[in-house]
Amino acid sequence: MAAFILRKQKFSTKNLLCIVIIGLLYLILAQRNAPRYSNNDLRPSSRNNSHSNWPFNIPQQYDQQYLHEWNEPIKVNVSNPSDRGEGGSAFYPRLDEKELMKKLRKEHNYNAFASEKISMRRSLPDYRFPECRSLIYPNKLPTATVIIVVHNEIWATLLRTVWSIIDRSPRELIDEIIIVDDASTWTHLKQPLDDYVKTLPANIKIMRTEKREGLIRARLKGANVAKGNILVFLDAHIECTDGWLPPLLSRIAWNRSVVAVPLIDNIGIEDMKYRTLPVNMNGIHWTLIFDWSPLPQREIIRTKHDRTAPIRTPTHIGCAFAMDREFFFEIGSYDEGMDIWGTENLELAVRTWMCGGSLEILPCSRVAHLFRSSTYSFDGNKNEIKVRNNNRFIQVWMDDFKDYIYAAFPKWKSIPTGDLTERINLRKKLQCKSFRWYLENIYPESAWLKPFITMGTIRNGLHNICLDAYTMTVSQALIPYTCHGEGGAQFFAFTVHGQMMTWRLSCVGIQGKSVVLVSCNEDDKYQQWDYNKEKHWIVHRESSLCMRKNQTGIVLDTCNQSDIEMKWEIVSNV
């Protein structure tokens, strides 16, 4: 950037004012043509990536021909500010509405009545951090194809998703919105939807599957025909907020191997209220479901306490994210051997990191998601299908750490994965890192990096009774329960530090003389145990008392060699 050097000489006020004005104009023009971020880690030249060379066939950045000028969307307010749900507020029913609302709530696993009564174009405040509102993004960005998969979705919920995209996105940057109808049976998603989208001020295409494909393969159908440079996958029950799109596109424009994730907020299933959530990181635990976890101090330090900076996250929810279309396919798109939904988000996240890309939360992009219990039906046993998805991920990507999962859920091993040849060959072709590399470099907070001594089921005495944590609530007392051989609540992992950890990452501690679940803390001496293999005792280090089964629970008592209720056998599942 040019510098203005003022020598020690006299300037007239007029001349000095001209210099200042020229300098300001230069700065404005420079900012308009390059993104201004408060964290230098956004720039490719300073990206901390363990892959020193660009490992992909596609260029790291876009050719200028793929970039398009854009303008901020015009603010549209079409609803009555006093209507229920406006401004992201909660819906409150009238007395005569409560019975029908309760009925629909049970049928749809969320307040569908409230969703229908709230405007499809309801207003929302600008939820972004104040620092985000001052950021300036490039005046040219790549275009996006937004892909939404639908299966028997309530009319207003779906259309509120679509309208939030239209009203709060730069028109020049949305190449198309593709709605993939995955064999819906509800009539309003047939001709009425076709007719309605023709009236919308956007390029909207509807694709229909010939049979049920599930979320994963339905998304792939949309991706295969997409024209935009960037694919934006959104669930059919979300709401986009002001400024949500440019941060995602700009980040990918800087580096096409970034999978960009908005900050996910919550739409309340009881009242449809928009609730902002804190900036968290997404992790993973034994059940292979994404997990919310506080932002680690290492990431706060790396981003220099800048709330606008991208957050490196080990996994993501999967309800909203963006990635370069060519990169999506080069890195293996989705595993088409997976059915319905579930685990595909973790598989994509882990594969991206292990194979040279990155997964980042963009805090200046906010999208709210309706976290309802799934109504996504599918032919076959739902649990078996989900475990099959899990096994495909475990067998291809987790290396020796798969033993940890099967120790916690031993029956999973009996569910066949189907042919994994294509996915195994993909990993070799991309020269991906190991799962241990992923844990050590991307997810060092993972419990799987702890040095475990043994893990499995803890059986009491001569009876078919096992130590059981049932609902996994902190402060809940452990109980003796019939051994079922399925792990889960009867799974415990011993660490070298003396902790007994559950699959929910809680630990075994004490409350008085009762044995209870506590939040894990390696420095807490009251949650440290030793296993005496010779005497079959589980000894509490601090008190030197032994774990004992009584009629109703698990307690601490004076160690007694002749007491059969104090004898425990650890049955390893590894």
Q: What residues does each domain of the chain span?
A: 97-328+356-370, 451-572
Over residues 463-488, mean pLDDT: 90
The 10 Å Cβ neighbour count of residue 77 is: 11
Is 90 exceeded by the pLDDT of residue 431? yes
- Helix, strand, coil % in the chain, rounded to nearest 5: 35, 25, 45
Q: For 451-572, give the CATH class.
A: mainly beta
Q: Are 341 and 216 in contact (CB under 8 A)?
A: yes
For residue 87, the Cα-to-chain-centroid distance in whole angstroms is 26
Over residues 87-100, mean pLDDT: 96
Cα torsion 116, 121, 124, 126: sign: positive
Buried/exposed code over 198-234 (b: 16+ C-beta within 10 A; e: otherwise): eeeebebebbbbeebbbbbbbbbbbbeebebbbbbbb
Q: What percent of the chain has pLDDT over 70?
A: 90
Over residues 333-350, mean pLDDT: 93
**CA atoms within 13 A of residue 510's CA, in its CB half-sphere:** 23
Distances (CA, A) of 234 to 149, 288, 328: 8, 21, 15
Is 90 exceeded by the pLDDT of residue 18? no
pLDDT at 28: 45
Structure tokens at 90: 């909660």
pLDDT at 462: 75
pLDDT tens digits for 45-73? 333 444 458 899 999 999 999 999 999 99
pLDDT tens digits for 29-43? 444 444 434 333 334
Q: Are 228 and 145 in contact (CB under 8 A)?
A: yes
Over residues 328-353, mean pLDDT: 94
Is 60 exceeded by the pLDDT of residue 419? yes
Band of pLDDT at residue 21, cut at 50, 70 and 90: low
31 vs 18, residue with greater confidence: 18
pLDDT tens digits for 264-277? 999 999 999 999 99
Q: Are 165 and 240 in contact (CB under 8 A)?
A: yes
pLDDT at 27: 45
pLDDT at 183: 93
Beta carbons within 8 Å of 433's beta carbon, 6+ residues apart: 50, 353, 354, 355
Q: Are 466 and 538 in contact (CB under 8 A)?
A: no
pLDDT at 108: 92
Q: Are 135 and 37 in contact (CB under 8 A)?
A: yes
pLDDT at 425: 98
Could you tell me which of 556, 568, 482 has the C-alpha nearest to residue 515?
Answer: 556
Band of pLDDT at residue 471, cut at 50, 70 and 90: confident
Could you tell me which of 215, 135, 231, 131 has the C-alpha nearest to residue 178?
Answer: 231
Structure tokens at 117: 């009564």
Please tell me the total number of residues recorded for the chain in this structure.
Answer: 574
Over residues 470-477, mean pLDDT: 86
Mean pLDDT (the chain, rounded): 89
Tell me the C-alpha distance between 120 and 161, whole Å: 8
Tell me the C-alpha distance between 345 and 338, whole Å: 11
Over residues 75-95, mean pLDDT: 91
Band of pLDDT at residue 158, cut at 50, 70 and 90: very high
Tell me the C-alpha distance between 519 and 527, whole Å: 9
Could you tell me which of 146, 175, 151, 173 has the C-alpha nearest to residue 162?
Answer: 146
Q: What percent of the chain has pLDDT over 90?
A: 80
pLDDT at 10: 40
Q: Are 68 and 141 in contact (CB under 8 A)?
A: yes
Phi and psi for 158 in degrees, rounded to 5?
-65, -50
Is 80 exceeded by the pLDDT of residue 555? yes
Structure tokens at 422: 């294509």
437 vs 522, residue with greater confidence: 437
Q: Letter for the amino acid at 442?
A: I
Is 50 exceeded by the pLDDT of residue 438? yes
Band of pLDDT at residue 312, cut at 50, 70 and 90: very high
Is 80 exceeded by the pLDDT of residue 98? yes
pLDDT at 488: 93
The 10 Å Cβ neighbour count of residue 53 is: 6
Is 80 exceeded by the pLDDT of residue 256? yes
For domain 97-328+356-370, the CATH architecture is: Alpha-Beta Complex (3.90)
Q: Can you point out the beta strands (E) in 394-535?
A: 452-460, 465-468, 479-482, 492-495, 500-501, 506-511, 514-519, 529-532
12-26, 143-157, 522-536: least confidently modelled range: 12-26
Is 90 exceeded by the pLDDT of residue 75? no
pLDDT at 375: 61
76 vs 408, residue with greater confidence: 408
Residue with tokens 């996240």: 349
pLDDT tens digits for 272-304? 999 999 999 999 989 998 888 899 999 999 999
Is 60 exceeded by the pLDDT of residue 170? yes
Band of pLDDT at residue 463, cut at 50, 70 and 90: confident
Beta carbons within 8 Å of 145's beta carbon, 6+ residues apart: 175, 176, 177, 178, 222, 226, 227, 228, 230, 231, 232, 325
The 10 Å Cβ neighbour count of residue 459 is: 19
Q: Are 307 and 276 in contact (CB under 8 A)?
A: no
Tell me the C-alpha distance between 66 and 307, whole Å: 30
Band of pLDDT at residue 82, cut at 50, 70 and 90: confident
Q: Are 111 and 371 in contact (CB under 8 A)?
A: no
Is 90 exceeded by the pLDDT of residue 205? yes
Over residues 89-118, mean pLDDT: 95
Beta carbons within 8 Å of 74's beta carbon, 6+ residues apart: none
Structure tokens at 408: 């916690």
Question: Rounded to 5 degrees, what angle do the CA atoms 257, 331, 61 make?
Answer: 30
Is 70 exceeded by the pLDDT of residue 222? yes
Question: Rounded to 5 degrees, what angle do the CA atoms 332, 287, 217 make?
Answer: 30
2-11, 290-299, 328-337, 381-390: least confidently modelled range: 2-11
39-53, 124-138, 140-154, 356-370: least confidently modelled range: 39-53
Count Cβ atoms within 10 A of the Cβ of residue 286 and give its class: 0-12 exposed, 13-18 middle, 19 or more buried.
Answer: buried
Q: Are 357 and 329 in contact (CB under 8 A)?
A: no
pLDDT tens digits for 500-537? 999 988 999 999 999 999 999 999 999 999 999 999 99
